[in-house]
A and B are shown apart, each in its own frame.
Chain A
Amino acid sequence: MNFKEESDFTVNSSSLKEIRNFARELFEKVEELNDYKEELVLALAEAAQNVVKHAYKNQPTDDLMKVLINYQDKTLNIELFDKGTAAIPENIKPRNLDDVKAGGLGTFFIGQIMDEVVFKTSKIDWVNHLILIKKF
C-alpha cells in the first residue's frame, strides 16, 4: 500500500504530540511500517523538536511547519519543512555517546533509526527542508 499525506502544525512544543499522532495513524495502515511505528514516530518527533528548539530557539511564533509522509514502493520519506533560522548541515552532528550529558541525543536517534537524512535549504516558501528516508 502506498500513500502520501501532509499536514501543517504550529511551531511549538505542544504540537509534538499532534505530530506523533498524525504519523502513528499513517504508519498503522501499513504492516511493515507498523512494525517500526514507534521508532519512526520518534525520528520524526526528534526532527520536529529540533525545529522548535533550534530553528526557532523555543521562541513563541504563529509560524507553521509542514510534515509530509510519503510511502511509495517500500521507501518511506518523512519530510519536514519550516521557516525558522536556516540550519547549517555541517554543524548538525550526533553526540558522542561516550560524553554522557543531558541534551543532544535527538540527532543520534534519527541517525540510528533512518537510513538517510537529507537537508535542503532551497525549497520555495520554506527555509529548511529535512528529508528522513527509510527503505523496507
Chain B
Amino acid sequence: MAYKVTEENNISTVYLNGEIDMDVTDTAKEAILPLIEAGKEVHINLKDVEYMDSSGISVLIESHQKATELGTKVTLKEISKSVLKVIMMAKLEQILNLE
C-alpha cells in the first residue's frame, strides 16, 4: 500500500491505494490519525484500493470515531467496488460517512 496526502480549503485528503490488510494498517493509521488529531476534516479517497480486510475496516472505524470524538469529520470518497462490498458486509454504510 502507498498513500499521498493533499490539502485544499482546510480539508486533508488521504489517497490510499493497493491492498489494505493487517500488514499495512499501521502505515494507514500514521497517515490518517495525526490529521484528525490536528482537528482537520479528512477525506479518505479509496478509488485505488483493490482489497480491504477487517483490519482496514478497523482503520476506517477508528478514524471515524476519533473524528467524532474531536468534533471533526472523516468522509470516505470514491469508494472502490471491492471496498464498498466489505463496508456493506460489515453493515457500516449507515455509520461511516460515504460519498
Binding site for B on A (CB under 8 A): 13-14, 16-17, 20, 38-39, 41-42, 45-46, 49, 52-53, 97, 100-106, 108-109, 112
Inter-chain CB contacts under 8 Å: number: 61
**Nearest CB in chain B: distance from A75 CB, A:** 23
In the complex the two chains form, what is the Cα distance from A100 to B95 in whole Å?
9
A112 near B89 with CB under 8 A, answer yes
Q: Do the beta carbons of B90 and A14 come within 8 Å of each other? A: no
**Prevailing SS type, chain A contact patch:** helix
**From DSSP, what is the main secondary structure of chain B's interface residues?**
helix
Contact B86 A42 (CB under 8 A): yes
Please, which residue of chain A has its CB at the minimum distance from the CB of B52? A42
Quote the shortest CB–CB distance from B48 to chain A (angstroms).
16
- Is B97 an interface position by the 8 A CB rule? no
Is the interface on chain B under 10, 10 to 19, 20 to 34, or 35 or more residues? Answer: 20 to 34
Q: Does B92 contact A (CB under 8 A)?
A: yes
A55 to chain B, nearest CB (A): 14
Q: Determine the residue in chain A with the shortest Cβ distance to B19.
A: A17
Instruction: Please tell me if the beta carbons of B61 and A100 are within 8 angstroms of each other in the complex.
Output: yes
Q: How many Å from the CB of B15 to the closest CB on chain A?
A: 20
B79 interface residue per 8 A CB criterion: no
Q: Is the CB of A109 within 8 A of B89?
A: yes
Q: Which residues of B contact A103 (CB under 8 A)?
A: 54, 58
Give which listed residue, A14, A38, A41, A49, contacts B54 with CB less than 8 A.
A49
> B23 touching A105 by the CB < 8 A rule?
no
Q: Which of B22, B51, B58, B61 contacts A38 (CB 8 A)?
A: B51
Q: How far is the CB of A4 from chain B (nearest CB, A)?
A: 25
